[in-house]
Amino acid sequence: MSALDPAGPAADALAGVWWVMLGGSFLILGAVVALALYAIYGRGARRSGITPRLLIVGGGLVFTPAVLAALLIWGIGAGHALLPLPGEREVYRIEVRAHQWWWEVTYPDAEDGPLHAANEIHIPAGRPVDITVRAEDVIHSFWVPRLGGKIDALPGHTNVIRLEAPAAGVYRGQCAEFCGAQHSRMALLIEAHETEALEERLALLSPTRESDSAEAPGAAAFQEHCAVCHSLDPRTRGATPAPNLADLPHRATLGAGTLPNAEGALLRWLRDHQDLKPGNRMPRHDHLDPETLEAIANHLEGPR
């Protein structure tokens, strides 16, 4: 999560601004301390030509605006790296909608038509990615520190940020705007893949999974108790909407980073989700017996 360990061109530009500001601030601090010591212990300040008028005009009216102007010019160049500008390279597109407290992800250009997932974004390595960001409820902020800067997710408004991961790897993100009680449990993962690996990962969002598992144990219980909000068909957003569960067995975490998606974690989430992430919008399942919850968990986990 360190913005000072950049892994993409946008993050590299932002880290450069930070280091320049840090170095400049130390130089300015050193100059101010030196002047203060000179004023206290120096002799013959007026004979040296350093007068109060010179300090006010030079240090306040000339030096400060010059430093701020230089930082502005440098910062504009860094911000330019985040803009979705047209160019010669082909751009990969992703749509993200922020909810309390999870991320809805859409691949609009998938072969099977728009495919929906949640809390993980899979992108090609070495290729620019334009991420369209909006919010469905309150203001959120999309931030993957090692790939780029923050951009607000606003209800009724669309923002676009360009990121690029030069190499395959996993990059953690986070909502960076306080959005409610579980703001800190609104994590995001971006995984960059080589071309073939990306195709294999997105194939896990195949629309055939729902029909293939329709007769599996727990399918009826899922349809009765869960399908009103959730969908196993990646082509469907869901009526609420709630997170699409098409590739749930292959996700790294549950509850937008609340739990590692390890063996037994899904059953624990179904049973205790309001204790693990209080206030989330999924109702408690106290009316369901343990056997039903276990059948639903087994059905959702499927073959890993």
Residues 202-248 have pLDDT tens digits of 988 876 555 445 566 788 888 888 888 898 889 888 667 799 998 99
| Residues contacting residue 220 through CB under 8 Å, at least 6 positions apart | none
Q: Which fold has domain 92-193?
A: Immunoglobulin-like (2.60.40)
The CB-side HSE value for 304 (13 A sphere, CA atoms) comes to: 13
- How sure is the predictor about 21, in pLDDT bands with cuts at 50, 70 and 90? confident
Kindly tell me if the per-residue pLDDT of 249 is higher than 60: yes
For the cut 80, the answer to whether the pLDDT of residue 279 exceeds it is yes
Rounded distance between C-alpha atoms, residue 229 and residue 297, angstroms:
16
The answer to whether residue 187 scores a pLDDT higher than 90 is: yes
What is the structure's pLDDT at 34?
83
* Mean predicted lDDT score pLDDT of the chain: 87
Label residues 225-249 b or e (16+ Cβ within 10 Å = b).
Answer: bbbebbbbbbbbbbeebbbbbbbbe
Per-residue pLDDT at 62: 84
Burial category of 69 from C-beta neighbours within 10 Å (exposed 0-12, middle 13-18, buried 19 and up)? exposed
pLDDT for the residue numbered 25:
87
* Fold held by 208-301: Immunoglobulin-like (2.60.40)
Sheet holding 129-135, edge to edge: 115-118, 102-107, 92-99, 129-135, 159-163
Q: Name the residue among 115, 217, 237, 129 with its Cα closest to residue 173.
A: 129
* Model pLDDT, residue 69: 86
Percent of the chain residues topping a pLDDT of 90: 48
Record the pTM: 0.84
Please give the pLDDT value at position 40: 77
Q: Binning pLDDT at 50, 70 and 90, where does residue 49 land?
A: low
Higher pLDDT: 60 or 261? It is 261
More reliable by pLDDT, 67 or 140 = 140
Q: Which of 33-37, 65-69, 117-121 has the highest mean pLDDT?
A: 117-121
Q: What is the pLDDT of residues 252-272, one digit of tens each?
A: 999 999 999 999 999 999 999
Question: Quick check: 304 pLDDT over 70?
Answer: no
